[in-house]
Amino acid sequence: MFTGIIQSIGQIKKISFKKGKYCIYIKTNKNFIKNLKIGESISNNGCCLTIVNIYKNILLFNITIHTMNNTTFKKLKTNDYINLEKPIKNNDFFGGHIVLGHITDIAIITNIKNYNFSKILWIKPNSILQMNYIPIKGSICVDGVSLTIDKIFQDKFSVNLIPETLLKTTFSKKKIYNYVNIETDIYTRNIIQTVERLYNKNI
């Protein structure tokens, strides 16, 4: 489980395909890798992946074809940057919201409004059904970052990016038509899906 508070930015050094699975090599800083072990989980742009090897400051992950097809990993290439977060521990400060690392959809950035020290991103999910779980002022995870939903239209939503977020994540590099992973809030999904089941049952 994660909180959506990014701890490091990694850079993809290599992507290969062997024996029905993809291997991705991600370089990050030594402070982030310190005390990590093979078998532990890391959030990579919001997607929970298991460490299969560690070499100096490079982490190796395996990605299944299913994960590749349902996340932005299929669009990433060597030297691209990604957001990294370690799983939360019992005594850690909980600064974002509960993030499972299970991507619910891919979305596209349709507009960016730049201000002196901040940005507003408009993001459109591939599936309009995702908008059912994206309420104003609710939480959403975008490329691993815990954000608050500002405004919503029928098929897209906006988020505000403060200077701290731009400094410590890959959002400062994002452009219009770039794709991002999104994970809608698990509590919002569960509540809405439960109400829908009860409603349909009583019709």
Task: Give yes or no for residue 194 having a pLDDT over 80.
Answer: yes
Condensed to tens digits (0 to 9), the pLDDT of residues 48-78 reads 999 999 998 999 999 999 999 999 999 999 9
pTM for this prediction? 0.93
Residue 203 pLDDT > 70, yes or no? no
- Give Cα 128 distance to the centre of its chain: 18
Domains of the chain: 8-85 (2.40.30.20), 105-202 (2.40.30.20)
Q: Please name the residues in contact with 27: beta carbons below 8 A apart, sequence gap of 6 or more.
A: 10, 11, 12, 13, 57, 58
| pLDDT band per the 50, 70, 90 thresholds, residue 142 | very high
Q: Are the C-beta atoms of 145 and 83 separated by less than 8 Å?
A: yes
Phi-psi region of 20 (alpha: psi -120 to 50; beta: other; left: phi over 0): left
